[in-house]
Chains A and B, each alone.
Chain A
Amino acid sequence: MSHHYLLPEISQPGKIGCSLPALDVPPTELPPKELLRQELELPEVSEVELVRYFTALSKLNYGVDTGFYPLGSCTMKYNPKWHEDIAKLPGFASIHPLQPEESVQGAMQLMFELQEYLAEITGMNATSLLPIAGAHGEFTGLLMVKAYHQDRGDRARKKILLTDSSHGTNPASAVMCGFEIGTVASDSEGNVDMKSLESAMNEEVAALTLTMPTALGLFDPQILEISRLVHERGGLFGADGANLNALLGRVKFGELGYDYVQLNLHKTFSTPHGGGGPGSGPVCVKEHLADFLPSPLVTKNNGRYNFVSPAKSIGRIANFCGNFGVMCKAYAYIRSLGAPGLKEVSENAVLNANYLKEKLKSYYYLPYDRICMHEVVFSGRRQKARGVRTVDIAKRLLDYGLHPPTVYFPLVVDEALMIEPTETESKQTLDAFVDAMKEIDRDVEENPEILHTAPHNTPIRRLDDVRAARNPDLRWHMRS
């Protein structure tokens, strides 16, 4: 059942969903009428109707708690329930960002320690927890790149190099920092094409951003040569660390030669994705970039925690000190796993992905047939040749009660199916997914219609995107 009615249809004059206190002070005269609002049309619903409405909506949703969610690049791992309770402790949730520092030392300690843990985990020297999501972290990192070169008096570096498999936020973030984009090709193995990098890496390049493992789910064995080349030619080497899950507790970005990395706490550190946020995208940097970090940072002096602004800070990137609620959960995660636990995370994430790769590669085309990291990218081209598109495969998976992988990304793989099982899934779950994928492949031959018309068992069937974009209906109206 989909949900046909909206709030205005439940609304009836005179209802309300909560009670409010009466005014306990003498009223003041209202300000001049020109400043006031005449009408305010919001729905009026009782508490029970409201709760039933939103509960009904929640039942139309699929989350990690519902089932397998192998959405590549998004690291949809299970999120421990008790972390939610931690972030809701009154000492964390009910504190104001502008309270005197001495009244929030506990929160600042948590932030300080998280800064340190993330620097240690990435092999960097300093961390800013301010960025609110991964893309915001990319933006922050690139502003620092710009400030770093300007500080050295080098104003010619106007370009950021990216690989052709990079995530869409990478070029978009570079443009927001006033950079031009240069693209480096991937070779037939899925690694950086060194010739392409060699010719692109000149004195106009401010930095190379390279996701590691790459968006193809592969670790590039030339990593040290890449880093050497970029540095020799005066550039900085930045990591989009969204794929840290593959390296956790085992490899440090700093030791790979990176100058900075942005992380996604809502992926790697097991904080839930919230249907599209809140996230948190800390940036960890080496010493030579530390002075450029955004303001404020938490420091510790004589056992007291303070907010400070780094010497050559790029300034403020958001209103307060980042998504603190998300930090609480990531902190709890790191403390419950420790170094050995983090290593087990990456081991199991990589094991699960390689298992799926082996089990599925005789059914789906594997463009890069080598050991993968935490995710594996297949191509639906064999199925496409038989008349079924990757989107059909994805939609059919929904009928099995499974969330599909990421599709059509990375762009360098035709009909891409990007599968990231994560470490929190069992072999049983993976086997059920494999069975579904095999049956779907069989249906490509035997019953393609069931794929073209999928999904069949979902609350709603395939939706008309073209109509949505052509005649945008983006809100309801309610008038008195």
Chain B
Amino acid sequence: MPSPYLPNTDADRSAMLREIGVGSIEELFQDIPERLRHAQFKLPSPLSELEIKKELSRLANRNVSLDNYACFLGGGSYRHFIPGTVEHVIGRSELYTAYTPYQAEVSQGTLQGTYEYQSLVCQLTAMEVSNAGMYDGSTAAAEAAIMACVITKRGKVAVSTTVNPTYREVISTYVKGRNLSIETVELNSSLSSDCACLVVQQPNFFGYLEEMEAHVEKARDIGALFIGIVDPISLGMFKPPGHYGADIAVADGQALGNPTSFGGPGLGVFTCRQEYLRQMPGRIVGKTVDVEGKPGYVMTLVTREQYIRRERATSNICTSEALMALAAAVYLATLGKRGLRQVAELCYHKAHYAAEKIANLKGYSLVFPKPFFKEFAIRCPIAPSQINQALFKEGIVGGLDISHIIDDSMLLCVTEMDTKEEIDKLVEILGAF
């Protein structure tokens, strides 16, 4: 059977071999030692498109899709409404089958789209500059911490205990990789003066809002940079990092128009003050003009990057999450100022409706009586794992079990995706324990 992906015919191949002057394809592999050239591979026999589609549909159906279940799970990956525009724009194959826009003249779609992304992200975060995106929120935070060490010429990173534990682990992997050190700090304690930065998440891992101004000031006092990790959807109603004085602000941009997709692809949003632009990791797109004076876009400040600067680059990042950044741009443009505010407010009101109902149940309480956005921790009368099992039987994916951090507690997330009916059902089942 001919392959749909190999357009050469046998006649083509023969003609090409003649042109090359070898008798067989085998001869083209002559530089490889003979005994290494014929490895055996144990792989399943090839199947047709039809067969694989069937098999993979079956495999996909073995998963509980959140299209069919109610879901109150957050913890770093969020289910938000994705307008139809997003998938259709990023589904244009001129965009998704291109690569890094090295040839700007035929890549203005990617480049201008990235410029829009950078602009929209700056508007959203009220930060001065944004790069074109990183791998995910956690690696963006890690690279931010390293950038702060480079800028301050200090070797220690302070991370708040209320930062998502996985983020803390990733930051630790990166920081220790560079032979720098990391310290986990209580936000109400003092900072040692040799810290390069203070990393705080807003809303924090447990969902509630930190007093960012005070923490920024604390970092300022010792000459450290302040790094904020933010929830981009929350910025539809809450104060953005640029307004409380963050030096670097990062986020996971998955919530901006990308499905949860079992955790990836995500998107690392990375922004900072203009003065740190040249220490920033990642690609950056800038506006310029062509030889006729027409405006156009190029990758710029490339002397920060590995393909120019090699070991002196600000990061090793090359391929990143460009398509997810484009999705985020389309998402933000689709919702616009009203839409994003509305989504944020829907999350806020629904989450508070749920929290209040749950707090009124016997045996349940809110762990932190503080303002929150869309996630909140509840203390349960029994082990959260048991509650989650009961919820699951009723078609609900429950909250994140955080009883290893706070006794008998779970972290619930409510977004615009969750209806009153679903919330009421959640409350009803919780009430049965």
A455 touches which of B44, B105, B112, B345 (Cβ 8 Å) = B105
Q: Is A384 interfacial (CB-CB < 8 Å)?
A: no
Q: List 17 A-B contacts (CB under 8 A).
A: A6-B116, A35-B238, A37-B243, A62-B103, A63-B94, A109-B59, A177-B177, A219-B29, A247-B32, A277-B319, A277-B320, A318-B138, A318-B264, A338-B47, A350-B25, A403-B106, A474-B300
Provide the main secondary structure of the chain A interface. Answer: loop
A99 touches which of B21, B58, B73, B283 (Cβ 8 Å) = B73
9 more contacts with CB within 8 A, not counting A176-B177, A461-B294, are: A7-B120, A18-B85, A43-B333, A93-B260, A168-B318, A175-B313, A273-B100, A342-B43, A358-B20
A462 touches which of B76, B138, B290, B342 (Cβ 8 Å) = B290
- On chain A, the residues within 8 Å of B47 by CB distance are 335-336, 338
A133 touches which of B105, B135, B388 (Cβ 8 Å) = B135
A85 CB, min distance to chain B CBs, angstroms:
8
Q: Is A59 interfacial (CB-CB < 8 Å)?
A: yes
State A344–B9 Cα separation when bound (angstroms).
Answer: 12
CB proximity to B under 8 Å, residues A354-382:
354-355, 357-359, 370-371, 373
* Contact (A472, B286) CB under 8 Å given A18-B83, A249-B41, A425-B7: yes
A100, B260: Cβ atoms closer than 8 Å: no
Q: Is A334 interfacial (CB-CB < 8 Å)?
A: yes
- On chain B, the residues within 8 Å of A64 by CB distance are 93, 97-98
- On chain B, the residues within 8 Å of A273 by CB distance are 96-100, 319
Interface string of B268-302 (1 = CB under 8 A from A): 00000000010000011111111110111110111
B106, A315: Cβ atoms closer than 8 Å: no
Q: Is B349 interfacial (CB-CB < 8 Å)?
A: yes
A468, B286: Cβ atoms closer than 8 Å: yes
State A275–B174 Cα separation when bound (angstroms).
Answer: 26
- On chain B, the residues within 8 Å of A351 by CB distance are 8, 13, 16-17, 20, 25, 28
A338, B45: Cβ atoms closer than 8 Å: yes
Stretch at the interface among B60-68, B189-197, B219-227: B60-68
Q: Is A322 interfacial (CB-CB < 8 Å)?
A: yes
B32, A24: Cβ atoms closer than 8 Å: no
A354, B95: Cβ atoms closer than 8 Å: no
B316 CB, min distance to chain A CBs, angstroms:
4
B84, A121: Cβ atoms closer than 8 Å: no
B21, A358: Cβ atoms closer than 8 Å: yes
- On chain A, the residues within 8 Å of B209 by CB distance are 31, 35
B63, A92: Cβ atoms closer than 8 Å: yes
Q: Is B390 interfacial (CB-CB < 8 Å)?
A: no
Q: Is A243 interfacial (CB-CB < 8 Å)?
A: no
Q: Is A202 interfacial (CB-CB < 8 Å)?
A: no
- On chain A, the residues within 8 Å of B46 by CB distance are 335-338, 340-341
- On chain A, the residues within 8 Å of B64 by CB distance are 95, 99, 103-104
State A462–B108 Cα separation when bound (angstroms).
Answer: 12
B336, A321: Cβ atoms closer than 8 Å: no
A17, B288: Cβ atoms closer than 8 Å: no
B61 touches which of A4, A106, A168, A324 (Cβ 8 Å) = A106
- On chain B, the residues within 8 Å of A459 by CB distance are 105-106, 108
A20, B19: Cβ atoms closer than 8 Å: no
A61, B106: Cβ atoms closer than 8 Å: yes
B30 touches which of A177, A224, A371 (Cβ 8 Å) = A371
Q: Is A256 interfacial (CB-CB < 8 Å)?
A: yes
A96, B260: Cβ atoms closer than 8 Å: yes
- On chain B, the residues within 8 Å of A345 by CB distance are 5-6
B333 touches which of A17, A176, A314, A398 (Cβ 8 Å) = A17
- On chain B, the residues within 8 Å of A21 by CB distance are 346, 416
